[in-house]
Homo-oligomer: A and B are copies of this chain.
Amino acid sequence: MTRPLAIGVAGLGTVGAGVLKLLRDNAGIIAARAGRPIAVTAVAARDRSRDRGVPLDGLRWYEDPVALAGDDKVDVVVELIGGSDGPAKGLVEAALAAGKPVVTANKALLALHGGALAEKADTAGVTLAFEAAVAGGIPAIKGLREGLAANNIARVTGILNGTCNYILTCMRDQGREFADVLAEAQKLGYAEADPSFDIDGVDAAHKLAILAALAFGRPVDFSAVHVEGIRNVTALDIKLAEELGYRIKLLGIAQAVDGGISTRVHPCMVPVSHPIAVVDGVYNAVVAEGDFVGRVVLEGRGAGAGPTASAVVADLIDIARNRATPVWGASAAALSNTPAVPMDQHTGAYYLRLMVLDRPGVVAEITGVLRDHSISLESMIQRGRSPGEAVPIVLTTHDCQEASMRGALARIAALDSVLEPPALIRIESL
């Protein structure tokens, strides 16, 4: 065996400690599969006194992560600090500039600065690897970028945020409301104290931007992603969805459509018979549809120390074996310039739930507005009767344009007989 690959790890939170533990616990098989031992020689973190559950004796310690890039005895830099800017970006840039391969779990960094960083990696002729940035332990980047590389991809669909999937699964199983389940998830440590990155869909959108760039061979474009979170999903909508044969999931979808590529993250109704409908709790899934391979589903744990460390070390083994792939699957010159298609031009079916005053003529008013916007109904359900009180009306539409639906919705929301803001959830025919 050749000499060990020397690793510097920046960030010793849950994931950083997990990587150290994995490299120690599975050192034997990792060395066999990497063709050489992989050894941590330096770390960067602020608090030297905290017990991280792994011994740190004998490792060089940096308080400034960027200094790690300058350590002559570090072959590969592992960035686990997080955040799209600041020290994480500084460290990755410094490491690439020093000609060192980088492994990162940082989805925000890749989604926002992935184009520029890929150029730097390309110029330096070193690897910038990020399997852990999308879908945790699932080999989604490798599966898509290498495993399905021969295919034109028509669509990539993902359950990309475990916190949201956990909350939606609890809401369904226990018939509870969003705020209630979120509070519990925060107590259990499944949701952050400030949960907005997760529940507002931003985290999923970072990951989707990365998957879309890989699937369609185009520069990463986070700003093009339409993003909605799950704050407005109610237990009632989940129950009504089940009655209609659907499950509500927060999906990220990147799709080839007329005029270019559409990328969007929002709650979706998916048929219960689709494999993604039964991916529950903290599990993530990535579904890719290729012209030759057909549908491929990859499912596993999307977060946590163990799964994320598994992905980080897989990248390190690739580097140890000299297995290299351009950041975005092809050289910058070979990427396409297919335009992004804005959400206004989205075409699809919709679920619309309205709380209306139970009085004659209400349905006629609402369906009249939909007709005015050329929206054709697939079904209408008015459950229960309470004359003079609020009752839910559920409408599902055939395919129509997002812009028409938005126009109709504004008018419907303004009707006297409509008592609450309408709930709109897109129906995906996966």
Residues B297 and A149 in contact, CB atoms below 8 Å apart: no
A32 CA / B330 CA spacing, docked (Å): 5
* Chain B contacts for A278, CB-based, 8 A: 275, 278
Structural contact, B143 and A139, CB atoms closer than 8 A = yes
Q: Are A301 and B294 in contact (CB under 8 A)?
A: yes
Interface status of A65 (Cβ within 8 A of chain B): no
Q: Are B292 and A33 touching (Cβ within 8 A)?
A: no
Instruction: Give complex CA distance A18, B293 in Å.
Output: 11
A309 interface residue (CB < 8 Å to B): yes
Give the distance to chain B from A138, nearest Cβ to Cβ, in Å: 6
How far is A145 from B26 in the complex, measured between Cα atoms in Å?
Answer: 15
A335 contacts across to B, CB distance below 8 A: 32
Contacts of A322 in B (CB 8 A): 322, 324
Name the distance in Å between A230's Cβ and chain B's nearest Cβ. 23
Q: Is the CB of B309 within 8 A of A150?
A: yes
Interchain CB contact (< 8 A) of A26 among B137, B292, B321, B330: B292
Q: Which of A137, A217, A322 has the largest number of chain B CB atoms within 10 A?
A: A137
Supposing A299-B275, A310-B292 touch, asked if A217 and B29 sit within 8 A by C-beta, the answer is yes
Q: Could you tell me the distance between the alpha carbons of A151 and B335 in the complex, rounded to whole angstroms?
A: 34
Q: Is A3 located at the chain interface by the 8 A CB criterion?
A: no
**Chain A 330-344, CB within 8 Å of chain B: the 1/0 string?**
110011000000000
Closest Cβ of chain B: how far from A15's Cβ, in Å? 11
Q: Is A225 an interface residue (CB 8 A)?
A: no
> Of B291, B297, B313, B325, which one neighbours A300 at CB under 8 angstroms?
B297
- Specify which chain B residues have a CB less than 8 angstroms from the CB of A295 in the assembled complex: 300-301
Q: Does A148 contact B (CB under 8 A)?
A: yes
Contact of A150 among B22, B147, B149, B325 (CB under 8 A): B22
**B318-A294 in contact (CB<8A):** no
Q: Does A298 contact B (CB under 8 A)?
A: yes
Contacts of A403 in B (CB 8 A): none
With an 8 A cutoff between CB atoms, is A306 at the interface?
A: yes
Residues of B within 8 A of A147 (CB): 131, 139, 142-143, 311, 314
| A149 and B299 contact, CB distance less than 8 A | no
- CB pair B317 A26 closer than 8 Å: no
Task: Verify A300–B310 contact, CB threshold 8 A.
Answer: no
Q: How far is the CB of A178 from chain B (nearest CB, A)?
A: 25
* In the complex, per-residue mask of A200-227: 1 if CB is within 8 Å of any chain B CB, else 0: 0000000000000000010000000000
CA distance A294 to B281 in the complex (A): 14
Q: Do the beta carbons of A139 and B131 come within 8 Å of each other?
A: no
The interface of chain A, by Cβ under 8 A from chain B, is 18, 22, 25-26, 29-35, 131, 137-139, 142-143, 145-152, 217, 275, 278-279, 290-301, 306-307, 309-311, 313-314, 316-318, 321-326, 329-331, 334-335
